[in-house]
Structure 1
Amino acid sequence: MRNIQVVALGILLLWGCDKEQLAGAPEGNSTGSNSASSGSINGNESTAGIDAGTGISVWHWGSESNAYGINNVVADPAKTNSMVEQYKKYNVRRLYGGYAKMPGYLKSTIASWNKRMKKEGITSIYLIGDAQWIYPENRAAMLKEITDYYISFNKSVDDSSKMQGLHVDIEPHQLDEWSTATAQRKRELLMLLKDTYRDIKNHLLSNDIKENQLTADIPVWFDSITAIGWTSETDRNAWFTDAGRYVNGFTLMAYEVKSVDTIVDRTSWERTNFPGKIEVGLNIGDLGTIWSSKTEFLNALSSIQTQTKQAVALHSFAEFLKV
Structure 2
Amino acid sequence: MKASRTVSCLLFIALFVFLTGFSPEDQKIKATWLWQTTMIASEPDHILSFTQEQGVNLLYLKIDITRKPAYYQPFIKKAHAAGVTVHALGGNPNWGLKENRSKILDLVDWVNAYNQQVSPDEKVKGIHLDIEPYLLPEWKQDQASVMRQWMDNVEAYLARASADPTLETGCDIPFWLDKNPIPGNPQLTITEWLIAKHDHVAVMAYRDKAEGSNSISALVPQELGWADELGKKVLIAVETKQSNEGDFITFYEEGATYMNEELAKLPGLLAQHPSFAGVAIHSYEYWKTLKKE
TM-score, with length taken from structure 1: 0.69
| Separation in 1, partners of 2:221, 2:112 | 34
CA contact (8 A) 2:95 2:133 kept: no
Higher normalized strand content (fraction of residues): 2
Report the RMSD for the aligned CA atoms in angstroms.
Answer: 2.5
Q: Which runs of 5+ in 2 are unaligned?
A: 1-24
Aligned match for 1:95, one of 14, 34, 59: 59
Corresponding residue for 2:210? 260
Corresponding residue for 2:247? 289
Corresponding residue for 2:202? 251
Deviation at 1:173, TM superposition (A): 1.4
Using a 3 Å threshold, how does the CA distance of structure 1 residues 52 and 141 change in structure 2: closer, same or farther? closer
Deviation at 1:145, TM superposition (A): 3.7
| Separation in 2, partners of 1:176, 1:163 | 34
Residue 199 (1) aligns with residue 173 (2) = no
Residue 59 (1) aligns with residue 33 (2) = yes
Corresponding residue for 1:273? 226
| Higher RCO structure, 1 or 2 (CA under 8 Å, sep 6+) | 1
Using a 3 Å threshold, how does the CA distance of structure 1 residues 271 and 230 change in structure 2: closer, same or farther? farther
| Separation in 2, partners of 1:283, 1:145 | 25
The one-letter code matched in structure 2 to 1:83 is I
CA contact (8 A) 2:148 2:183 kept: no
Higher normalized helix content (fraction of residues): 2
CA contact (8 A) 1:167 1:215 kept: yes
CA contact (8 A) 1:54 1:93 kept: no
Residue 213 (1) aligns with residue 175 (2) = no
**What is the aligned-residue identity percentage?**
19
TM-score, with length taken from structure 2: 0.76
Matched positions, count:
249
| Separation in 2, partners of 1:301, 1:172 | 28
Aligned positions of 1:1-323 closer than 5 A: 51=25, 54-62=28-36, 70-72=37-39, 74-75=40-41, 79-101=43-65, 104-147=66-109, 149-178=110-139, 180-181=140-141, 185-205=142-162, 208-225=163-180, 234-236=187-189, 239-240=190-191, 242-255=193-206, 257=207, 259-261=209-211, 262-274=215-227, 275=230, 276-286=232-242, 289-290=247-248, 291=251, 292-294=253-255, 295-309=257-271, 310=276, 311-323=278-290
| Separation in 2, partners of 1:258, 1:231 | 36
Rg larger for: 2
